[in-house]
Amino acid sequence: MKMRSLAPVLLAAGLFLTGCGSDDAPETAPVPLEVPTVTLVDPGEGTAEVVEWADDGAEQDTSIVVTQGFTQRAEGEGADDSADSTTPDTRLEMPVSASTSGSGEDRAVEAEIGVPFGSNAELNDDIATAEGFVAKWTGDRTGRMLELQLGAPEEASDTARAGTEAALLQWARLPIVFPSEPIAPGAKWTVESHVGGDSSLRQTLTFTLDSRDGDQVELDVEVLQTPTVTELDAGEGLSLKVVDSGTETRTGELTIDLGSPLPTAGVIDYVTSVSYGDDAADESGTRIVQQTHRAVQFGK
DSSP string for 126-189: HHGGGTT-EEEEEE-TT--EEEEEEE--TT--HHHHHHHHHHHHHHHTS-----SS-B-TT-EE
What's the mean pLDDT in 94-101? 98
What's the mean pLDDT in 293-298? 98
What's the mean pLDDT in 219-244? 86
The reported pLDDT for the residue numbered 234 is: 66
Q: What percent of the chain has pLDDT over 90?
A: 74
The reported pLDDT for the residue numbered 23 is: 54
Q: How many whole angstroms separate alpha carbon 123 and alpha carbon 113?
A: 17
Q: What DSSP character marks residue 49?
A: B
Residue 233 lies in a domain: yes
The reported pLDDT for the residue numbered 287 is: 85
Q: State residue 125 phi and psi, 5-degree precision.
A: -65, -40
Domain that holds residue 145: 29-298
Residue 23 lies in a domain: no
Per-residue CA distances from 81 to 89, 233, 280 (Å): 21, 19, 19
Residue 7 lies in a domain: no
**pLDDT band at 284; cut points 50, 70, 90:** low
Residue 14 lies in a domain: no
pLDDT at residue 196 greater than cutoff 50 = yes
Smallest CA-to-CA distance from 166 within 135, 123, 143 is with 135
Q: State residue 299 phi and psi, 5-degree precision.
A: 105, 160
User: Residues 105-154: pLDDT tens digits?
Assistant: 999 999 999 999 999 899 999 999 999 999 999 999 999 999 999 999 99
Residue 123 lies in a domain: yes
Domain count, the chain: 1
**Between 194 and 9, residue with greater pLDDT:** 194
The reported pLDDT for the residue numbered 16 is: 42
Residue 142 lies in a domain: yes
Q: pTM value?
A: 0.89
* 179 half-sphere exposure, CB direction, 13 A CA radius: 22
Is residue 210 exposed (0-12), middle (13-18) or buried (19+ Cβ within 10 Å)?
A: middle
pLDDT at residue 160 greater than cutoff 60 = yes
Angle at 57 between CA 52 and CA 59, to 5 degrees: 95
Residue 162 lies in a domain: yes
Smallest CA-to-CA distance from 225 within 289, 271, 168 is with 271
String of DSSP letters for 260-289? SSS-SEEEEEEEEEEEEE-TT--TTS-EEE
Task: Tell me the residue type at 77.
Answer: E
Residue 240 lies in a domain: yes
Q: How many whole angstroms separate alpha carbon 155 and alpha carbon 282?
A: 54
String of DSSP letters for 84-95? -EEEEEEEEEEE
pLDDT at residue 6 greater than cutoff 60 = no
